[in-house]
Amino acid sequence: MKIDEKHLAQLAAVVEAGGVTEGAHLLGMTQPAVSRTLSALEKRLGEKLFMPGRRPLVPTIIGRQLAAHGKVILDAGRKASDAVRSFQAGSAGTVRIGGVPFFMDAFISQMLGQFQVQQPDISIDQSYGNLPELQAGLRSGQLDMAICPLGVVEPGSELAFTEILPGRNVIGARARHPLFRKKSITSHELLRYPWIAPLPGSPLLADLHAILLSIGVSEFNVRYSGGSLLSVLNYLHETDALTVLPQSVLFAFRQDGRFKTLPIKIPQPQRSLGILTLKEAPKLPASDKLTKFIISRFNELRGVILRHENAVIWGT
């Protein structure tokens, strides 16, 4: 005998509430509709579901057994309704976010932690990639959003780019580097020291070449390459090597005290850090909430980063 799951859920609601009227209210139904369901179910079973003349209603043995099965259905429906409400409110779900390694490690990973303290029911799936991989991930539906620098290259007609921080590069070195003992630093003195090359595919690699070409050099001494942000900083701290980094990334480690910005002006890229999304992607409230959080945090940081930059006495 097949019994309609909805009828079992209605029976469970009546048993839980202790009355037909109360059970109907719990379900958002009318009392006559629930009464008809119970009467039809008793007729089909040939068994009474409730003890006669008892208030509040007391289920019979078969009524109690069927109500137990119905409660599973009722609870599942409630959980499903809660899940839908949480999803629509942006307080639950999974956000798939990708980004360029240095910015993800310096800023975004910390912001993701701060965000999840406020939104513990939102899961985050984070990955790394440069612009081509991130664009492909968005177009294929494997990413909901991407954090990347973008300049004169258009994101693509189907992609939207929201700037969160203007781009600016600096030359970084350990705080005990010999160049900081000089009153002024000439660009050619930069060639006396080895360099750390950014990750392959990173726009910082092109920026490094632009810096050196601006002082008439096409070849330079690369001592270390291909590392993560943490490995680059660890290597930088132990050597007199130099490297090019986004000014905001070096700012993120200002309290560390191990690194400083060389006060020398270098060619700047026409590039900004921002959030890349697919314009026609299905609306994901949790992703929208995370986007707003990241924008808000960078709005707070923008002025502090600028003051930190202005504290450097720039040479030529």
The domain locations on the chain are 5-89, 93-167+271-310, 169-261
Contact predicate 151/246, CB 8 Å: no
Sorting pLDDT into bands at 50, 70 and 90, what band is 37?
very high
For residue 313, pLDDT beyond 70: no
Sorting pLDDT into bands at 50, 70 and 90, what band is 289?
very high
> What pTM was computed for the model?
0.70
286 token code pair? 């949790």
- The CATH fold of domain 5-89: Arc Repressor Mutant, subunit A (1.10.10)
CA 265 – CA 208 distance, rounded (Å): 13
Q: Give the count of alpha carbons within 13 A of 140, CB side only.
A: 8
pLDDT tens, position by position, 74-123: 888 887 777 777 777 666 789 999 999 888 998 899 999 999 999 998 99
> Phi and psi (nearest 5°) for 97?
-125, 135
Sorting pLDDT into bands at 50, 70 and 90, what band is 205?
confident
In sequence order, what DSSP letters do the residues of 75-120 get, joined into one string? HHHHHHHHHHHHHHHTSSEEEEEEE-HHHIIIIIHHHHHHHHHH-T
Q: Which CATH architecture has domain 93-167+271-310?
A: 3-Layer(aba) Sandwich (3.40)
Name the residue with tokens 């985050």: 124
For residue 151, pLDDT beyond 80: no
Range 137-150 average pLDDT: 93
For residue 134, pLDDT beyond 90: yes
102 token code pair? 């240095």
Name the residue with tokens 């859920």: 9
- 169-261 in CATH: which number? 3.40.190.10
Angle at 271 between CA 282 and CA 209, to 5 degrees: 130
pLDDT of 314 reads 52
Same fold, 5-89 and 93-167+271-310: no
